[in-house]
Structure 1
Amino acid sequence: MFESQQGYIVSRHSQDEKGRLDIHYYVKTDEGTVKVAIANPETLFFTNAPLEALATDVPGIQSEETQLKSFSHDTVNVVRCQSLLLQQQMVALVKKQGYLVYEEDIKPEDRYLMERHIRGQAAFVGVPDASGATYTQAKLKAGDYQPDWRVWSLDIETSVSRNELLSIGVTSGDRKVVLVVTTEPAQIENVYTFTDERKLLMAFIKFVRKHAPDIIIGWNVIGFDLMFLDQRFRALGIKPTLGVQGEPWRVREAKESGKVFASIAGRVVLDGITMLKVGGYHFNSYSLNNVSNELLDESKLITGGDRWQEIERLHREELANFAAYNLQDCVLVERIFAKLKLIELQQTRVDLTGIPMSQPGGSVASFENLYLPRLHRSGWVGPAWSEDKFVPSPGGFVMNSVPGLYKNVLVFDFKSLYPSIIRTFFVDPLARVVAQALAQDEGLVPGYRGASFQRQFAILPELVAELAQSRETAKRDGNDILSYAIKIIMNSFYGVLGSSVCRFYHAELASSITMRGHELLGRSKQWMEERGAKVIYGDTDSLFITLSDDLSEEQAWQAGKDLRDVVNQCLSEWCGEYADIDSHLELEFETLYTRFYMPTIRGQEEGSKKRYAGLTNGELVFKGLEAARSDWTPLAKRFQVELFEHVFFDKDMDRYVADFVSDLLAGKFDHELIYSKQLTRPLAKYTKTQPPHVRAAKMADEIRHKQGLPPEYERGRKRVQYIYSLAGVVPYLSDEDLSSLDYQHYIDKQVLPIAEGVFHMLNLNVVDILTPQFNLL
């Protein structure tokens, strides 16, 4: 008997079972997570092949005419298949005959949801089995279920010297558990001991199945924790049956990129580092210790490059402290996710776009989920994958700056510039191809690189308008998560249209966005300068201008508001004159720097780009300078911040710089002289050049090899700490390495480059100030 339920889709799957396609979803309900198998599933694709060229009498295949057209303006047919294997064979047959196929790569489990406008929330009807754990013959539609997620924070500890698993820590609210390998008896609360790895891993499987987490979070949890656990499962011959119904998980590493992926039926794994980057958060270092320090003012219990030795000692000698260390990492991740509402952000993105809950990125998938159903309703199918050479579009507008020290610098920003351009100028994949085919000028809006857009056929501007309205509503309601999620989605549209991994990519589309941005910034600059402003810099969607130094802060704010209103009026009038279109462009004025520094390119007179410092509301702001970059030392950041405090507040810089260098030479800043830089690829891939952090990483691995330890940096994608000693670059492994620092290097490469530009603008010679210090060396 059929029963209906409401729930939230946790994971989605398709596969051939006994020659037939099986599409099923794991859906979280009030009664638990259940498996929902779709009735009469099919997979399909479109083609411009005529029906007579298609197999029409093969069981499991059905070919039909449609009213849909391709972007080449051909009428297309649809081929429906009852298995993935049949579809693969039919696609190969069609291509062999020289015809095109469309949308053949869309997974059937994704298409089923996309065409029914199902995102995460779902209602379904199906026949439950005796246990109620599986529903068959099911159908889904959009629902309104709000899940109460059971979230686990997971962290493992390993033996570096033996490459073995030591423990698995889990926290979930008040629940705190550590499973640890030890032969010593222990009576420690929440600590469960096992005599070997096999017993621990078997217990972990039972623990997961019993307590059924929906979402597992961690720090590099896929790339390290799950990857290591998977290796130990395989080494010990254990099947990792951690799915909701005992399905084995799948952890794999992509050969080309080295990226690790994990799939667990009915569960979601979210990595903290990835979630931060997708959410637009930037840190000098994404290490758990650094992020937790910045966000929570809390640290790991053990830090430093040699902490693995202390971890192994605690495991042998102080099991309670070892367990506390393991759990602290879990707790820190929990608190970071909670503070930034990262799970709420991810669920909101799913609710808006229909991407899988386990997919943190997915800009292309988000776009296609939103665009393709609208395209189909308009009578068209997505374009075939093009083999045309990728042509990059011009980047954002960046003008040469006018270097100097300023007062009263006003910054104007276009609100959501690229989405506003899409909406105002009808930039759209379908509108472009229709404009090419129709020999008429009526309704056309000019683009760039030969493009034009037929406004009556434009889909994307309407989608942007709906999202923009939803964002304004979210702002009024105080729903910051929804507002931010919509912003991420809208801002991704330009990147998607300019990416060769998107089926809708065309150079004319992305160029019609960025080059229009260039034009709008240029026109706005002209309108401002006609009214007495001096534009000293422009970047993508922003213009920096100066007015009279004599204006009070209140007068400067009012002048900025007046100038904003004038430019917005000019934009509206120009759009009407240009193509009889309504302007959805909005210039905003939000920032006034009472003091401002625009540097030159180092060693030149030409103004720099994307680098400046300013004082606004009593707060120092750095962009692109050493204080905001991760590849300079903490010493450089300290020096730059303190130097600009002296510059902007008119303090004695000469005395400050001289005292700073004296303190440096006296060893007061030794712990701030450590460089930290990320390896972006495996060490073996650095063949043409050997940057300092690469040399340091190789030296560190050589030291580990002599100690009988496995390499730490060989695979890359790790942050390397190093210093400059009198012998040159060496890895920073312990404080003993700080005994022979090359202070001259830090003066020449960290202090002088920062001070020289500022002193030059003030007609001062920093070398004269530092000469007595050099004599001390």
Structure 2
Amino acid sequence: MSATGNARKRQQPPTPATPSPQLKHQATMEEEELDEDVFLEETLLQYEEEDSQRRALADRLAKWKRPALSPSLLSQSQNIVFQQLEIDYVIGDSHRELLPSSSGPAAIIRIFGVTKEGHSVCCLVHGFEPYFYISCPPGMGPDDIFHFHQILEGRMREANRNSKVPKFVRRIELVQRRSIMYYQQQSSQPFLKIVVALPTMVTSCRGILDRGIQIDGLGMKSFMTYESNVLFALRFMIDCNIVGGNWIEVPHGKYKKTARNLSYCQLDFSDLISHVPEGEFSKMAPFRILSFDIECAGRKGLFPEPTHDPVIQVANLVTLQGEDQPFVRNVMTLKSCAPIVGVDVMSFDTEKELLLAWRDFIREVDPDIIIGYNICKFDLPYLIQRAEVLGIAEFPILGRIRNSRVRVKDTTFSSRQYGTRESKEVTVEGRLQFDLLQAMQRDHKLSSYSLNSVSAHFLNEQKEDVHHSIISDLQNGNSETRRRLAVYCLKDAYLPQRLLDKLMFVYNYVEMARVLSQLLRKAKQKNLVIPNVKQAGSEQGTYEGATVLEARAGFYEKPIATLDFASLYPSIMMAYNLCYCTLVTPEDARKLNLPPECVNKTPSGETFVKSNLQKGILPEILEELLTARKRAKADLKEAKDPLEKAVLDGRQLALKISANSVYGFTGATIGQLPCLEISSSVTSYGRQMIEHTKKLVEDKFTVLGGYEHNAEVIYGDTDSVMVQFGVSSVEEAMNLGREAADYISGTFIKPIKLEFEKIYYPYLLISKKRYAGLYWTNPKKFDKMDTKERDIPGAVQYVKNTISDLLMNRMDLSLLVITKGLTKTGDDYEVKAAHVELAERMRKRDAATAPNVGDRVPYVIIKAAKGAKAYERSEDPIYVLENNIPIDPHYYLENQISKPLLRIFEPILKNASKELLQGSHTRSISISTPSNSGIMKFAKKQLTCIGCKALISNSDHTLCSHCKGREAELYCKSVANVAELEELFGRLWTQCQECQGSLHQDVLCTRFSVAFLRFGPNKCIFCSAEIVQYFTGEKSTERHGRSQATIGSMELLILEELVVDVKMQQACNPGWMIFHLYTWWWHAGILAKYN
């Protein structure tokens, strides 16, 4: 470029011309038109989005709502038949049309149920009044009853001054009844039926009569009340012949739709007919069952509290009873959530919107039964309290009655069998709550009642892998992490539904409800009344229980026949006519002078009249229950429909439980109607029959009697005896067992019957209540089983190997976990217990995860100072793993294993103690936990050779003088080890990504075993790579000490075992990723030591 060109000045841009007013106006108009187009476009998009949301909501409501009512129901021209699910009562105004003469408040029965078409029903029954009985004093006439009524009314008015009831005692009627207690020759006697205004007034009136009342001509007199403790709803069911879960019919023209919509049900009416649950009326209605679960964003280290921690997700599954797949699957989330296949995901910006949406969902889907796991103690109370904190006053209206709020109150249940359990009682009117946790604790004996453990036990399924500590992190992430949490929440709602179906809770509990209150129902038929007996506790004393014959301990190589009494205690009560109404008091026995052929004198010294004089109520109930059970079992064999089978199986089980509970009902001193004369007589007859059976067997089946061997009864337990006939074949023993059962049954009064049930061969009898054997019911089954003594050394060697594994710290920690129930708080225990003290320590460490009253506490015993108590050495297994705390194997050997072992082996092995508990297999190794306290502060780590672990004095070297020639070998081995671990880690990581459903987000798996399998190889890769780097010179000797402290021969051995074990798991089990919680506890301990 020339100099002149460089010197040339740049031209200035031209000055823009000022636009004319017309151009300005035109530009303004164009901008306004453009803004209007954008606005219209945004408005249209918003409208389309809102329209899409409305259509989605309409689709949801169509799916959620119950079927529409037929015109015949709306016109009240069709009979209504429904299965009742819940009966309660409310206090309301008397019905003016049905009860024109009544005034003031009255009790209104409410029956909630479902028709076979799926319509929800609420039946309101008016006019049923609470009442009870007292014995009428001799000589009391109509005028005396009138004056008595006035006196009692005055006393009631004094006791209930604030009540607005116009008349407390509605009426007193003279009726003919008879007390169920004791034999009485007269068929009936006068009683007073006292009818009161409200159910709560029964208790008040009973108290006045118990304390005594002044009566003209009689002075101060107290009265025993009869049936004053019967619940009002149960009284209604008994009087109307309604049983739990039965079908009720309301004829057309007998019901009226309520003028006001008092409930969310579709029909409200009065009047009904009860159907016996047989045939078509034994089936189940299509109840709507909602299973739900909530998730809360808790603070770190604290259990969620409704005053601080929000509800972030609610998962819901709705299933029709009898179907296995939900027809509604949804999850409500706070903030956005990625889609989930087959699930309706609803996201909300605020927690208030979420809670109100769930309330609306409950109203629309209208569930009959609400289930979940721990919902009564946590989920439902948490939602109610959280709504209160947020000021959502309308949220707790979740029931079927309008403006009726959910009620929550604390409860404590305590019994000798179940201990003490604290919970909450949640009342959602018209909807039944069924907590699977409470059902599991009540019906099944398990070591752990967590949802994960219970699901693994019954379903072979487990929860999703989300630890409670990362729930808040998932919520605060993005839509993908919230999706992971939603899947977890859905699984926690799905598992209770699966448990409900698997264990047939609905069928079994409905059938149990159908046999409830047999005594009250039968007494009503017979015009008998039951006294209200005060709770006496243990003041009535105790009685002798069943006989257990002395066990002849040993190992029996010949078949042992087992003879069982069929329903022993119910059979005794039926055979000897044992009942409240057949019991004769000693005083009456002297007065009545009954002939001997009309009475039974029991072995315990009690007197009962025989059935030819008066048939007892209890024997009659038992006959009906056992007959019904036989019929149900016969129908079960013929049934083809799975639902019909479930109903019949639940029925026969309920009838069996009910029949067996009659004896226990009479012996419960804190029960409703204890009678120790009956229970002691039953057990005394049982003891006599066991002894009688033993004598007949050993007297008849002898060599002198023509048999090959002398029979010997080796054990007897309550209702069974075990007999060795001396024969060597199972078939011969079965034939002799049947012959003995038939012969002995002929000596008893019917229906007492001894049955041959099974053969044990071989049989190990250790002591009373402790025996084991191979179970035979078919003589040709297991006939080639070898049971000779040459098998014993194999068992001994197995025991020795197990003891060696225990003492050498090779045993899986899960096998050493002890679990015990926490039935009360620590202060309530008189003696310090290991699980109680551990629970207190866990509460101090982390209150969010600490066990509460009613939970089972798992623990292991760890090493501690000499002389430390067991309760001081108990520790949480997870804490042991995380902190590499050594267990105390000698405690387990001496306190948990040795005594059971000796009980088993002493009958079959000489010197069992010396053989099993002494010798080289009892050598042990000591695992100590590194410590930086005390003298260990002055300890210094010594470097060792990577090859042979010999001590090295020169810190510049990695190998000793003996291993210097093996550099190439050790290097290649280290490189191969790193490659193998990297491959293993990669497969584990990929598997977790596939389980999580995404290859593009962080792995959030928190299942302990899988997480450690990833962590273990990753940690080992780092350590092994350090060794490789030392060989290549990439590592400085400054960190040599750390490496030497990190990797040793034991660690390399563990790594090799880890790889081998994982390969074996992969080869043997397609689901090799899902390992047990403690599978790698030893590896975790070794690696954690060097973190």
> What is the one-letter code of the residue matched to 1:214?
D
Q: Distance in 2 between matches of 1:274 and 1:645?
A: 44
Q: Residue 54 of structure 1 aligns to a residue in which SS?
A: helix
**Residue in structure 2 matching 1:240, options 396, 399, 408:** 396
- Pick closer, same or farther for the CA change 1:490–1:316 going to 2, 3 Å: farther
**Residue in structure 2 matching 1:554, options 726, 731, 735:** 731
Query: How big is the shift at 1:255?
Result: 4.6
Asked whether the 8 Å contact 1:127–1:138 carries over to 2, the reply is no
Structure 1 match to 2:435: 271
- Write the deviation string for residues 240-268 of structure 1: whole angstroms up to 9, x where unpaired: 22212343233322256434333322222
**Residue in structure 1 matching 2:289, options 144, 151, 156:** 151
Q: Residue 595 of structure 1 aligns to a residue in which SS?
A: strand
Query: How big is the shift at 1:376?
Result: 2.9
Asked whether the 8 Å contact 2:258–2:268 carries over to 1, the reply is yes
**Residue in structure 2 matching 1:33, options 116, 120, 123:** 120
Structure 1 match to 2:782: none
Q: Distance in 1 between matches of 2:561 and 2:198?
A: 61
> What is the one-letter code of the residue matched to 1:122?
I
Q: Distance in 1 between matches of 2:607 and 2:476?
A: 69
**Residue in structure 2 matching 1:141, options 271, 274, 289:** 274
**What stretches of structure 1 move > 6 A for 4+ residues in a row?**
644-648
Query: How big is the shift at 1:716?
Result: 1.5
**1:601-620 to 2 correspondences below 5 Å:** 608-617=767-776
**1:503-542 to 2 correspondences below 5 Å:** 503-530=672-699, 531=701, 532-542=710-720
- Pick closer, same or farther for the CA change 1:570–1:711 going to 2, 3 Å: same
Matched, 1:701 2:843: yes
Query: How big is the shift at 1:594?
Result: 0.7
Structure 2 match to 1:425: 576
Matched, 1:594 2:761: yes
> What is the one-letter code of the residue matched to 1:552?
S
**Residue in structure 2 matching 1:61, options 170, 176, 183:** 170
Query: How big is the shift at 1:486?
Result: 0.9
Asked whether the 8 Å contact 1:7–1:143 carries over to 2, the reply is no
Query: How big is the shift at 1:196?
Result: 4.8
- Pick closer, same or farther for the CA change 1:712–1:201 going to 2, 3 Å: farther
Query: How big is the shift at 1:490?
Result: 0.7
- Write the deviation string for residues 733-769 of structure 1: whole angstroms up to 9, x where unpaired: 3532555222222333333333323333310444455
> What is the one-letter code of the residue matched to 2:451?
L
**Residue in structure 2 matching 1:729, options 858, 874, 880:** 874
Query: How big is the shift at 1:200?
Result: 2.9
Matched, 1:565 2:747: no
- Write the deviation string for residues 91-142 of structure 1: whole angstroms up to 9, x where unpaired: 3443331122211222232212112221122123422226683534434433
Structure 1 regions of 5+ residues with no counterpart? Answer: 354-365, 576-582, 600-607, 620-643
- Write the deviation string for residues 660-680 of structure 1: whole angstroms up to 9, x where unpaired: 233334544233244242333
State TM-score, norm by structure 2. Answer: 0.61
Query: How big is the shift at 1:458?
Result: 0.9
- Pick closer, same or farther for the CA change 1:278–1:534 going to 2, 3 Å: farther
> What is the one-letter code of the residue matched to 2:196?
C
Q: Distance in 2 between matches of 1:676 and 1:8?
A: 45
Q: Distance in 2 between matches of 1:436 and 1:506?
A: 17
Q: Residue 656 of structure 1 aligns to a residue in which SS?
A: helix
- Pick closer, same or farther for the CA change 1:563–1:71 going to 2, 3 Å: closer
Identity between Structure 1 and Structure 2 (%): 23
Structure 2 regions of 5+ residues with no counterpart? Answer: 1-74, 94-104, 154-166, 214-221, 319-324, 415-421, 637-647, 702-709, 779-785, 865-872, 926-1091
- Write the deviation string for residues 257-302 of structure 1: whole angstroms up to 9, x where unpaired: 43433332222222334445665x4434333333322322222223
Rg comparison, structure with higher value: 2
Structure 1 match to 2:920: 772
- Pick closer, same or farther for the CA change 1:45–1:223 going to 2, 3 Å: same
Q: Residue 149 of structure 2 aligns to a residue in which SS?
A: coil
> What is the one-letter code of the residue matched to 1:128?
K
- Pick closer, same or farther for the CA change 1:108–1:565 going to 2, 3 Å: same
State TM-score, norm by structure 1. Answer: 0.84
Asked whether the 8 Å contact 1:186–1:193 carries over to 2, the reply is no
- Pick closer, same or farther for the CA change 1:13–1:162 going to 2, 3 Å: closer
Q: Distance in 1 between matches of 2:106 and 2:803?
A: 75
**Residue in structure 2 matching 1:671, options 796, 813, 825:** 813
**Residue in structure 2 matching 1:127, options 247, 256, 260:** 256
Query: How big is the shift at 1:65?
Result: 0.5
**Residue in structure 2 matching 1:191, options 342, 345, 350:** 345
Q: Distance in 2 between matches of 1:266 and 1:596?
A: 55
- Pick closer, same or farther for the CA change 1:415–1:678 going to 2, 3 Å: same
Q: Give the aligned CA root-mean-square deviation in angstroms.
A: 3.1
Asked whether the 8 Å contact 1:595–1:648 carries over to 2, the reply is no
**Residue in structure 2 matching 1:452, options 601, 608, 632:** 608
- Pick closer, same or farther for the CA change 1:427–1:584 going to 2, 3 Å: same
Q: Residue 736 of structure 2 aligns to a residue in which SS?
A: helix
Structure 1 match to 2:556: 406
- Pick closer, same or farther for the CA change 1:680–1:741 going to 2, 3 Å: closer
- Write the deviation string for residues 462-505 of structure 1: whole angstroms up to 9, x where unpaired: 22111111111111122322211211111111111222344321
Q: Distance in 1 between matches of 2:901 and 2:412?
A: 45
Query: How big is the shift at 1:523?
Result: 1.3
Structure 2 match to 1:252: 409
**Residue in structure 2 matching 1:499, options 668, 671, 692:** 668
Asked whether the 8 Å contact 1:674–1:721 carries over to 2, the reply is no
Q: Distance in 2 between matches of 1:79 and 1:175?
A: 51
> What is the one-letter code of the residue matched to 1:555?
E
- Pick closer, same or farther for the CA change 1:696–1:431 going to 2, 3 Å: same
- Write the deviation string for residues 139-195 of structure 1: whole angstroms up to 9, x where unpaired: 443366541221222333343544334433222333464545534554444333344
Q: Distance in 1 between matches of 2:849 and 2:455?
A: 27
- Pick closer, same or farther for the CA change 1:224–1:570 going to 2, 3 Å: farther
Q: Residue 364 of structure 2 aligns to a residue in which SS?
A: helix
Report the number of matched residues.
Answer: 710
Q: Distance in 2 between matches of 1:420 and 1:84?
A: 39
Asked whether the 8 Å contact 1:44–1:80 carries over to 2, the reply is yes
Asked whether the 8 Å contact 2:807–2:923 carries over to 1, the reply is no
Structure 1 match to 2:968: none
Asked whether the 8 Å contact 1:36–1:134 carries over to 2, the reply is yes
Q: Distance in 1 between matches of 2:798 and 2:209?
A: 75
Structure 2 match to 1:634: none
Asked whether the 8 Å contact 2:826–2:840 carries over to 1, the reply is no
Q: Distance in 1 between matches of 2:669 and 2:329?
A: 46
Matched, 1:751 2:903: no
Q: Distance in 2 between matches of 1:79 and 1:494?
A: 32
Q: Distance in 2 between matches of 1:402 and 1:231?
A: 61
Structure 2 match to 1:763: 910
> What is the one-letter code of the residue matched to 1:309?
S
- Write the deviation string for residues 5-35 of structure 1: whole angstroms up to 9, x where unpaired: 2111121122332522222221322352222
Q: Residue 756 of structure 2 aligns to a residue in which SS?
A: strand
Asked whether the 8 Å contact 1:382–1:503 carries over to 2, the reply is no
- Pick closer, same or farther for the CA change 1:680–1:535 going to 2, 3 Å: farther
Matched, 1:484 2:661: no
Structure 2 match to 1:118: 242
Structure 1 match to 2:371: 217
> What is the one-letter code of the residue matched to 1:298?
E
Structure 1 match to 2:544: 394
Q: Distance in 2 between matches of 1:181 and 1:773?
A: 58
Asked whether the 8 Å contact 1:153–1:330 carries over to 2, the reply is yes
Structure 2 match to 1:660: 802
Q: Residue 558 of structure 1 aligns to a residue in which SS?
A: helix
> What is the one-letter code of the residue matched to 1:763?
K
